[in-house]
Amino acid sequence: MRVLSGIQPSGRLHIGNYFGAMRQHLELQKEHEGFYFIADYHALTSSPEPKALAQYTLDVAMDYLALGLDAEKTVFWRQSDVPEVTELTWLLSCITPMGLLQRCTSYKDKIEQGLSPNHGLFAYPVLQAADILIFNSNLVPVGADQKQHIEVARDIAIRFNNAYGEILTLPKEHILESVAVVPGIDGRKMSKSYGNTIEIFDSEKEIKKKVMRIVTDSTPVEQPKDPEKCNVFALLKLVAAPDELKEWENKYREGGTGYGDVKKRLVELLIEYFAPYRQKRMELGKDIGYVRSVLSNGARRAASVASVTLAKARDAVGLGAKNV
C-alpha cells in the first residue's frame, strides 16, 4: 500500500519529532510504498524568513536520510518541486464548502498560538488534501489527535468524485502507535513553539546542558518518588532498555536517588542512541550535492504520479486539452 506523510521545515528536528512520528514513518517504509515530502508550501503559512526556510528544508532532508530513510525505495521530495499539487488545490478549493474549513480545529489552534490569521492558514486543509489525493495515497500516518485532517481529505475527495466521477482515491488514516507525549525540558509537550526542545543532532555538550535543565519537583533525595510523574523518567522510557528502566523505577520508589543521577544517565543514553545517526548526519553535511540529488530524483518520481492524477482531474472539470 502507498503511505504518504509530510513534515514542515519549521526548525531543527527534535527528539519529540523522532519518537512521536518519524521513527514510525521510517518503519512503515519497510513494508509499504513510502511517499514522504518536506512540506515547504505549508511552512509559508507562518511567514518564515526565506533563508531560514531554505536551510531548514535542507536540514530536514539530511535528518531524514541520516535517520534511515531509504531513498531508493521511498519517494522523498520537496513539496514545492511538484507544483501540480497547487493546481489540484485550486480545483479542490472550488468544491470545498466554507463550513468544512470553519470546523477545522487546526486553524483555531494556530491562531491561539499567535500565528497571523492569513488565508493560507485557513485554507491549509485543502492543500493538505491535495497533497494526499494527488498521489493516490492509501494510508496516511497520523496521531489520534490529527484524525480530522484525513476525514477532511476524504470529505473533499468524495465531493469531487460525486461531482465529476471516480477520479480520486479515498485515503485512510493509519493511527500511529500510541506513545506518551514527549515532554520538553519545561514539562510541557516538546515543541519548537515552546522553546523547550532537545534537538536530535545537538552537540553532546548542548544535550547535557538541556537535560540538566529539565524541570523536576522538589522531593528530597532520600524520599521515594513517583516515576510516572517525572519528566526525566518519561524521557528515559524512550531510550533505556527494559531491564535498566525497571531498575530506575525501583530506585525511584525506594528513595535515595536524586534527579541529577537520572539526568546524567539520560544524557549518556541519548548520546548513545543517536550516535550512529549523528555520524551519518555529519557525512551528509559534507555531501550536500547528494542530498539535493535525492530530492530532485524524488520530485521526478513524485511528479510522474501527480501529473497523471492532475490530468484526470483537469479533464473531469473541463480544463483538459481534450475538452477544447
Classify 256 in phi/psi space as left (phi over 0), alpha (psi -120 to 50) or beta.
Answer: left
Q: Could you tell me the end-to-end alpha-carbon distance of the chain, in angstroms, rounded to an integer?
A: 36
* CA distance linking residue 299 with residue 311, whole number of Å: 17
CB hemisphere CA count around 3 (13 angstroms): 18
Catalytic choice (51, 73, 172, 189): 189
Would you call 264 a catalytic residue per the annotation?
Answer: no
Classify 134 in phi/psi space as left (phi over 0), alpha (psi -120 to 50) or beta.
Answer: alpha
Would you call 209 a catalytic residue per the annotation?
Answer: no
Would you call 246 a catalytic residue per the annotation?
Answer: no
Catalytic choice (108, 192, 225, 312): 192
**Which residue has 516538546 as its cell numbers?**
190
Give start and end residues of each alpha helix (H) in the chain.
15-17, 23-28, 40-43, 50-66, 84-93, 98-102, 105-112, 119-122, 124-133, 147-164, 204-211, 231-239, 242-254, 259-285, 288-317
Catalytic choice (30, 51, 110, 205): 110
Residues belonging to the active site: 110, 189, 192
